Structure 1
Amino acid sequence: MDLPLTAVDATAELQQRFAGLLARHQGIVLKVARAWTGGTDDRQDLIQEISVQAWRAFPAFTPEKAQFSTWLYRVALNVAISQQRGQRLRQRHHADMAPEHIEQLATTSDTAEDAAQLAQLHALIQSLPPLDRALLLLHLDDYSHQEIGDVLGISASNAATRLHRLRQQLRQQANPTPTTRG
């Protein structure tokens, strides 16, 4: 005879399921945290906050509506954007604070040139507006236009258009052409 699950058993089962999914998709959290923070301490704080907020929202997650990875991306991006907004507000109120310095990227690159290119890419991603930054991260993770739209709350065609414009903008920044006078 099977005994009914107690609330403690159900919570433990839910925690175990969440921990397994989060561990499998931890790369999403790490990627978002790296794109939205400059320092190791800030990155760890953001990773922790994303994990907490994802756990709080997990009971409402429905696998029929979205894949866990898509849902987690949305949670992570929302937390990162909210945290960035909060930091900007605090900085306005505390203008006497010294600006933060961007930490050197810890890379496993074989050459200094690779490390420099990676640092340049990281700086470029950091400089993008939040929506463009999220769009680029999702694109680099090979999400389809539909999946990007689902995560960001825009249509697939809007995601495709924005991504096309972003790629053009990035190409221009990477290879600026001198203006000619006519």
Structure 2
Amino acid sequence: MARDEASDAELMAWAAAGDRAAFGVLVARHGDRTLRLALRVLGRTEEAEEVAQEAFLRAWQAAASFDPGRARFTTWLHRITLNLAIDRGRRRGRATEAGEEALALLADPAPGPEAAAAAAEDHAALAGALARLPARQRAAIALAYEEGLSGAEAAAMLDVSERALEGLLRRARLMLRRLMTP
């Protein structure tokens, strides 16, 4: 079977046996999403790139311990990414402000100049408010709303119950509402 056609679980089994090319396919498949997730939690491109690289390095090193019966590869990888991003945010000791690069990802290029200016202002305000959320709340928002994961998947990645995830999301929405209200 060609590597490009193999499932993530098969590629991980090959990677566990030392097949770097198989792991390279996983990086190509999931690298962008992993980087986006780290960026949403951290708000800084450079830090997000380092976290994404570290997540893949750890996945490579732990390939033999991956159990496809317990979790999908993407769930496992995103859990590693989230843990690294949250830890990095905590080490930084404060919430981050989203940089111009992160805002550029949020901007909608289609509207006219006035609408684009208003949208950019709204995006900047939202990005600033998101940056002020605690890291776990930012992660919950990123998983549920930006990555479109189900409650069960997002809860599994954060290692919380679905009810606890709902609490994180509720607190995040309330705080965002307070921060966004003039």
TM-score, L = length of structure 1: 0.71
Cα offset, 1:24, TM superposition: 1.9
C-alpha change, 1:125 and 1:23, in structure 2 (3 Å) is: farther
2:149 to 134, 143, 148: 143
Match of 2:8 in 1: none
Aligned length: 158
Q: Which runs of 5+ in 1 are unaligned?
A: 1-6, 92-99, 177-182
2:173 to 123, 142, 167: 167
**Superimposed CA distance per residue, residues 105-131 of structure 1 (whole angstroms, 9 cap, x where no aligned partner):** 334532233333223222222211111
Cα offset, 1:28, TM superposition: 2.9
1:29 to 30, 34, 38: 34
C-alpha change, 1:72 and 1:163, in structure 2 (3 Å) is: same
Q: Which runs of 5+ in 2 are unaligned?
A: 1-13, 110-115
- One-letter amino acid of the counterpart of residue 99, structure 2: E
- One-letter amino acid of the counterpart of residue 174, structure 2: Q
- One-letter amino acid of the counterpart of residue 31, structure 2: Q
Identity %: 31
Say yes or no: does 1:131 pair with 2:132: no
**Superimposed CA distance per residue, residues 141-166 of structure 1 (whole angstroms, 9 cap, x where no aligned partner):** 22222112211111112212332332
Cα offset, 1:102, TM superposition: 5.6
Match of 1:10 in 2: 17
Contact map agreement 2:140 2:165 (CA 8 A) in 1:
yes
Contact map agreement 1:125 1:133 (CA 8 A) in 2:
yes
Cα offset, 1:32, TM superposition: 2.5
CA distance in 1, matches of 2:176, 2:41: 18
Cα offset, 1:133, TM superposition: 1.0
Q: State the Cα RMSD in Å.
A: 2.9
CA distance in 2, matches of 1:38, 1:163: 18
